Amino acid sequence: MSSTQAMPARTAEVSRKTAETDISVAINLDGTGVSRLESGIGFLDHMLEQIARHGLIDMDIRCQGDLHIDGHHTVEDIGITFGQAVARAVGDKKGLRRYGHAYVPLDEALSRVVIDLSGRPGLTFEVPFTAAMIGQLDTQLVYEFFQGFVNHAGATVHVDNLRGINAHHQCETVFKAFGRALRMALEHDDRSAGMIPSTKGSL
C-alpha cells in the first residue's frame, strides 16, 4: 500500500458568522472536484468552481452576505474561511510536496500562480484587470479573496497575469492556475513520506 492510500481523509468544515456574513465551508482535499457554491455572486461561484475542478477539491461553500452594500465582505470572508478550512484539512503537512506552480492560458490571456504552503502568509498579486466589473464581481475584490486565503491558510502565493485583454479571461486564468498550483502543493510525495518538507523540521 502506498503512503497516499494510507493517509487519513483530509477534510474540514468551518463556519464563520459576523454581522456582515454567515459562511459555511466544507472541503475534501482529496476529492474529484465536485462543488456546490452559493455565494450570492454568480461570477465568484464560477471562479470557485475553477478551484474545485482544477484543484480536485470537493467544495461546499454557502454564504449569506451583506450584498445590499457591496460584495467586499462576501468575497473577502469566503477567502478567509476557505483558507481556514485548507489549513485545518492539510494537517501536519508531513509528506506534502509543499510547493506548487501552474501556467494557464485562455485565448489571449495567460496567468501564473506559484504557491508555498510555508506556514507564512504572503501575497504578491500583479493582475492589471482591464475592466472594473465582471458580472457582479468587482475585480478589486479578487485581491481581497487571495489576501484572506493566504492570511488564514498560512501560505505564500504569487499571482501574475502575464497578458490578457478580456477581464473575464484574465480572472479565469488566475483561478484555474491557482487551483492547479494548489493541487500540486497538496499532493503527497511518496519519497518524503512521513517527513516535514522543511529543513527547520516544522511548517
Is it the case that residue 54 has pLDDT exceeding 60? yes
Assign 10 a pLDDT band (cuts: 50, 70, 90). very high
Among candidate residues 119, 93, 115, the one with its CA nearest the CA of residue 160: 115
67 has pLDDT over 80: yes
Question: Measuring CA to CA, how many Å separate 157 from each of 28, 182, 202?
Answer: 21, 10, 19
Q: Report which of residues 8 and 104 the model is more confident about.
A: 104
Mean pLDDT of 3-10: 66
- The C-alpha atoms of residue 55 and residue 122 are separated, in whole angstroms, by 20
pLDDT digits (tens, 9 = 90+) for 76-123: 999 999 999 999 999 999 999 999 999 999 999 999 999 999 999 999
Handedness of CA 117, 120, 121, 123 (dihedral sign): negative
Cα within 13 Å of Cα(28), Cβ side? 12
Domain 3-192 has CATH 3.10.310.10: no
Q: Over 80: is that where the pLDDT of 4 sits?
A: no
Q: Is the pLDDT of residue 158 over 70?
A: yes
* Three cell numbers written together for 7: 493517509
Contacts (Cβ under 8 Å, ≥6 apart) of 55? 33, 178, 179, 180, 182, 183, 186
CA distances from 102 to 14, 110, 114 (A): 27, 10, 7
Quote the CA–CA distance of 184 and 44 in Å, as a whole number: 23
Q: What is the pTM of this model?
A: 0.95
C-alpha cell recorded at residue 45: 461561484
Q: Where are the domains of the chain?
A: 3-192
